[in-house]
Structure 1
Amino acid sequence: QEDLLMKFDELLFLNSRGKNGVSFTIWDYGGQEVFYTLHHLFLTSYGVYLLVFDMQQLAKEDCENAQKYILFWLNSVSLHAPDAPILIVGTMMDQLKKRRDIYNVNEKLMEVIGSGRYSQIVDNTSEEKQLMFFPLSNISGRGIDNIRKSLENAVKDKDYVNQSIPLKWLYFLHLLQKSPDLKRIFLSDAYLIGRKAGITRTEEVNDCLELFHNLGLIVYLTATQNLRNVVALDPQWLASALGRVIRDVKVHNVDEERLKESGLSEEYKALYTSGVATIDLLEYLWGGDLSDETDYLLDLMLTTLLASRWNFNGSSKILIPCLISSVRSRKSVKPRSKGAKSVFMFDFSDSFLPIGMI
């Protein structure tokens, strides 16, 4: 085992020679509202976040929607990753006619965000006048080098970037990622793999998994015993699997003919209007390469509150709140009983809480 670790040490050294700076793994979060409830699975403080917006939208006189969009994302990252740096990036710089327009956009950002309200925001100090965002040209790429440099500067002094970890932890990660076809394992299997890497204590394996999760290398959730028992080795696989159910049907189409042949057309329609799914429909959506993962994925959704079991007219079904059609009715609510004197209605529709949790 010592010889094996030594060879791994040499390989690690050879692969790292001549490399400077920080390496990043890039995640692109879905911007549609339906994906908002997935954020808490993947946002961690061990990262840096780019909030990208179209400067043309803020340059308009009526830019309230654009401001709300930016506020939502700032609040979401601040909630789930309170210590992570945030770079606000404004695209479409080529479409702005005057240099002054960039400063006008900055002023509108200041109006909605305020000064010092979000200490995580990384200021752009490369401009003559300091900006709280980074303008970017979609055509020439002007501004991209400044963003890259600022990204690295934002994290280079972070403890998790400079943290020294035992070589056996890296070897453990290597063994976990050795088989690309293996998407998830049980915690007991992780303990066995840890022993192969020279990690004999289960507590140390748990520490490894927590670090790898925070770095976005795996997904290891510990909120419940069921979640603690499973390690998802490929975060993208997990996101894609959940995305087969939690998705924007206007963008992500389904094979209508195949769906009709399955006899689940009505169930499919009900899912994306009322948020109610049958087990048969979930098995269909997770069919093929995910047919063996249905129980795990459903359990994950239930334990992370992405779904809940409900009884509809005597039939047990799965309610997925984020897929309920958005209704912004502000009609008064009548008391259900004569004895009720007061009715309280809490409206979170203008807040940053994800759709499906309001």
Structure 2
Amino acid sequence: MYVILGTGQSKKDWDLSGRKLKSVPPILLEHADEVRRLDLQRNKLRQLNWISNLVNLRELNLSRNELVDFPLEFRSLKLLERLYMNQNNIKVIPEDVFPHLGKLQFLKLSTNRLAKLPVDLSQCHSLSYLNLSNNCLKDIQALVGLPKLKELFVERNSLTELPAQLFQKGNSELTLFKATGNPLRTPPEEVCDGGVRDIQSYFAMMEEEGPDTHTTAWTVKTMFLGSSMAGKSTLCRSLKQGGPVRVDEEDRTEGIEISEMDMEGIRFLFWDFAGQEEYYLTHHVFITPRALVILAVDLASYNMEDPQSYKEKVCFWINNIQLRVPASVVLLVGTHCDQCQDQDEVREKKRHIEENVRVMLKERKEVLQLQQKNLKGNTDPSLFSEQMSELDRLMEYNLQVLELVPIDCTIHEDIVKLKEHIVRHILTKDTFPCAERTLPKSYKEVELVIHDLVKQNQIPQHGIVSFDDLLSDLILHLELGEENVHSILRYLHRIGIIVWYEEIPALKDRVFVQPSFLISLFKTIVRHDLVKQMEAIPRDELRKEGNLLVHRGTWVDDFKEKGTLHNAATRILVRRELRRLRLDDEDLVEEVVGSRTKEGTLLSLLQHFEVCLPAKVGSPLNPAAPEFKPGEKQWKSSNLAMGHLDGACLFPSYLQDNQMVVQMWGEDKLDDINVCVYFLPEIPHGFFHRLIIKTCSLYPIHWIGKDHCLLSSGDKLVLMRENNKDGDNKDGDQHIQIRCKRPETSEFRRSWDLFLSVMKKLVVLSRQWPGLSQHVHTPCKEKGCTAYFVWRDWQNLQISDIYDLVQEEKQLCRNGHTRRTELLFPKDPVVNKSKGQ
């Protein structure tokens, strides 16, 4: 059966999507002259030789079919304005098609296998939107000359250069351009991340300065990761020194240490991350793609007989790298070899680790393939096509884990050997295609001027400077335009030379030209010994803030029991750190930690990166707090003053139990609405705590526990519960459970709205982990039944459309149990009833 959209006798709009069609029904061709819009997505079409009959067609959707050839018959569709060909298997587009499509404005060819574009594509003069992401393109020169092109997407291809003519002002109308996931050198990906204006600025400077002045720079951000006491700092400092450097235990890294060095003409930006679990919160913020990750593994304490040893020292780190930056290169370095019995032990442990890593990466691919096979096995696989495409994307990522290099950091020759090994891999373009980048000389000049301004004390030692002041100084010294300076500063921020959070309103007018100072601030309150630091605050420092010893005791108790850090304690701790750095200036203190009425830089950053949540200590719940309603733009979240006298910050990661949440929620019941979001390969470290912070910003009334969170909206409660292998779900798959009590018939819509607002936040958060896959199931409600209902593609739908995702009034599980749809999927029985009348 086909469905004709529209009213009356109109045969203009046809919806034949998701019908498993291998050919179109004859009745369509009988009305060929009348068809204006044709939707054939999610079918099994391979041939389109009939398409030339639809000469009056304006819009054609052929996405998610089985097309291999781009049909020449399209030449007959001279009135075509919109064409969807994404998610097929097209490898080649023939010449002499696009010159005939003079009215085509919208073209989506993403997720195919295109290796090149037809030269005459530029003759498609009306084209304003073009999506070529997820293909195999190495060159997009064919796009030069499209006069009306405004939006262009070429993400995840194989591009190393972009044509300058495509971005020339006056010849281009481009307003939106996305190219992430390409091994770009001209311009570098960090320039492209700034959008069209930054790319135009880059090419304008390249042209103005001339080819003889361009610099070819080799820059590699290098992140040292590994468990506590694995020898990361020793490695980092020894590489920088060029020989053995001893690092005492009391001198180990707290937070992150930043340094820089040159090796064989390659500039290395070293980021040494502390290994204690408390610091993992900030790792997520600073770990970036396209980096070299040096994973230090303590071979002396590595136990081949204990699976937990491999999990903690190797598996945990590789999994989190794969989730956060799946296109990175990981170099395993075996440390403390001098403490092993002999070289045989070192070789045996090296083989054991490498084999386990090989098996782990192989199993990850197999799990993704199995999940994809399961989706294809559904009655109608087309309903899960987006999830299958997502799995395809994940399988294309190639985390490179290089062979383990065992070294003895007390031997000079071993340090030299490691340096040579690193340089050799960096210079291998197959391993590091993005290390080499072409830049206008102005980029380096801006960096040198900033360095000189600090050296001459024109910028304070702490490196915090107003953006306007820095802009004025740079324009004065270099005679650069304001827009060019903006672009260069964004680039320097993205490669880690400076920190400028332009996207944070409270901080966009501040630039940190010394990122190490910012890290020093972070580690004053995100650290493994925070309780000890608070207990050590002397009486005189307490009194300067107007506090007593009894207040200090309250701070310690609240932090231990509630994961809550009082703002007064934060101010004192940061002031102590600034004093240690000889920067105890009152204006700086207020800038960093704020006052009793004003929020400071540090807490703004921690909240922005979802490390903590503002709270008022001892304040009662507000019964008149506004109820959050999805879709209502006028609603505003709770605005607790983080600098307030009785203010504090709640760190969910420091909570020890779920007692309060369990008490407020009560017992689970079989008729609860219950949805499980499963994560492959696992829930990223810190993910659930960030989800708590995101959702609690919507719902002022909430209760938070170690791995539970209860949200309140009016008289509705929604529970979020994390289940991972380290907790009560040892034998199961890691997932986050969302549930609420069964509502009255008239209240299902409100309950599902709550659910969906949480799930939408979860989707947004997941984008920060490109290597993550998630799948939604609703368990059967029959006691003892292990069946479940799989959610179809829903993530890109509007909330109102999700309620039409499942049309049937009842659902039958594989074990024969029946339940009403609104108990399993978003559905409003009141609306359905009114439709049926």
Q: TM-score range by the shorter chain?
A: 0.7 to 0.9
**Is residue 63 of structure 1 aligned with residue 338 of structure 2?**
no
2:571 is matched by which residue type in structure 1? E
Q: Which residue of 2 aligns with 1:110?
A: 358
1:162 is matched by which residue type in structure 2? E
Task: Between 151-160 and 187-196, report the one with greater CA deviation.
Answer: 151-160
**Is residue 39 of structure 1 aligned with residue 283 of structure 2?**
yes
Q: Is the 8 A contact 1:33 1:354 kept in 2?
A: no
SS of residue matched to 1:38: helix
**Is residue 341 of structure 1 aligned with residue 672 of structure 2?**
yes
Structure 1 residues 199 and 57, CA gap change in structure 2 (3 angstroms) = farther
Task: Between 270-279 and 84-93, report the one with greater CA deviation.
Answer: 270-279
Larger Cα Rg: Structure 1 or Structure 2? 2
Match of 1:93 among 303, 315, 337: 337
2:525 is matched by which residue type in structure 1? V
Q: Which residue of 1 aligns with 2:298?
A: 54
Q: Which residue of 1 aligns with 2:563?
A: 275
- Shift, 1:239, TM fit: 0.8
Deviations 1:45-93 (A, max 9, x none): 3531101111244443113243244233223333443433221112133
The number of equivalent residue pairs is: 331
1:120 is matched by which residue type in structure 2? L
Q: Which residue of 2 aligns with 1:3?
A: none
Match of 1:196 among 468, 476, 482: 476
Q: Which residue of 2 aligns with 1:129?
A: none
Match of 1:170 among 444, 448, 465: 444
User: Which of 1 and 2 has higher RCO (CA within 8 Å, sep 6+)?
Assistant: 1
Q: How does 1:302-313 map to 2 (within 5 A)?
A: 302-313=607-618
1:271 is matched by which residue type in structure 2? F
Q: How does 1:242-253 map to 2 (within 5 A)?
A: 242-249=522-529, 253=533
Match of 1:300 among 605, 617, 625: 605
Rounded to whole Å, the distance in 2 between the matches of 1:333 and 1:344 is: 20
SS of residue matched to 1:216: coil
SS of residue matched to 1:218: coil
Structure 1 gaps, min length 5 = 1-8, 10-17, 124-131
Q: Indicate the RMSD between aligned Cα atoms, in angstroms.
A: 3.7
**Is residue 155 of structure 1 aligned with residue 429 of structure 2?**
no
Give the structure with the higher percent helix.
1
- Shift, 1:171, TM fit: 2.3
Rounded to whole Å, the distance in 1 between the matches of 2:405 and 2:473 is: 44
Rounded to whole Å, the distance in 1 between the matches of 2:263 and 2:311 is: 40
Rounded to whole Å, the distance in 1 between the matches of 2:617 and 2:484 is: 45
Structure 1 residues 257 and 223, CA gap change in structure 2 (3 angstroms) = closer
Rounded to whole Å, the distance in 2 between the matches of 1:209 and 1:115 is: 42
- Shift, 1:298, TM fit: 1.6
Match of 1:121 among 378, 388, 400: 400
Q: Which residue of 1 aligns with 2:500?
A: 220
Q: Is the 8 A contact 2:531 2:556 kept in 1?
A: no
Q: Is the 8 A contact 1:89 1:136 kept in 2?
A: yes
Q: Which residue of 2 aligns with 1:205?
A: 485
Structure 1 residues 285 and 176, CA gap change in structure 2 (3 angstroms) = same
Rounded to whole Å, the distance in 2 between the matches of 1:326 and 1:217 is: 40
Rounded to whole Å, the distance in 2 between the matches of 1:169 and 1:25 is: 17
Match of 1:238 among 518, 530, 533: 518
**Is residue 354 of structure 1 aligned with residue 659 of structure 2?**
no
Q: Is the 8 A contact 1:46 1:214 kept in 2?
A: no
Q: Which residue of 2 aligns with 1:128?
A: none
Q: Which residue of 2 aligns with 1:179?
A: 454
2:650 is matched by which residue type in structure 1? L
- Shift, 1:343, TM fit: 5.0
Deviations 1:325-357 (A, max 9, x none): 4779xx999646989624567798x74323844
Structure 1 residues 103 and 165, CA gap change in structure 2 (3 angstroms) = same
Structure 1 residues 27 and 253, CA gap change in structure 2 (3 angstroms) = same
Rounded to whole Å, the distance in 2 between the matches of 1:302 and 1:75 is: 26
Task: Between 335-344 and 244-253, report the one with greater CA deviation.
Answer: 335-344
1:90 is matched by which residue type in structure 2? G
Structure 2 gaps, min length 5 = 1-212, 214-261, 366-396, 456-460, 543-547, 594-599, 620-645, 691-706, 708-837
Task: Between 83-92 and 140-149, report the one with greater CA deviation.
Answer: 140-149
Task: Between 181-190 and 335-344, report the one with greater CA deviation.
Answer: 335-344
Deviations 1:172-197 (A, max 9, x none): 21232322614222332332233124
SS of residue matched to 2:490: helix
SS of residue matched to 1:219: coil
Give the structure with the higher percent strand.
2
Rounded to whole Å, the distance in 1 between the matches of 2:612 and 2:263 is: 44
1:285 is matched by which residue type in structure 2? L
SS of residue matched to 1:24: strand
TM-score in terms of structure 1 length: 0.77
- Shift, 1:300, TM fit: 1.4
Q: Is the 8 A contact 2:304 2:352 kept in 1?
A: no
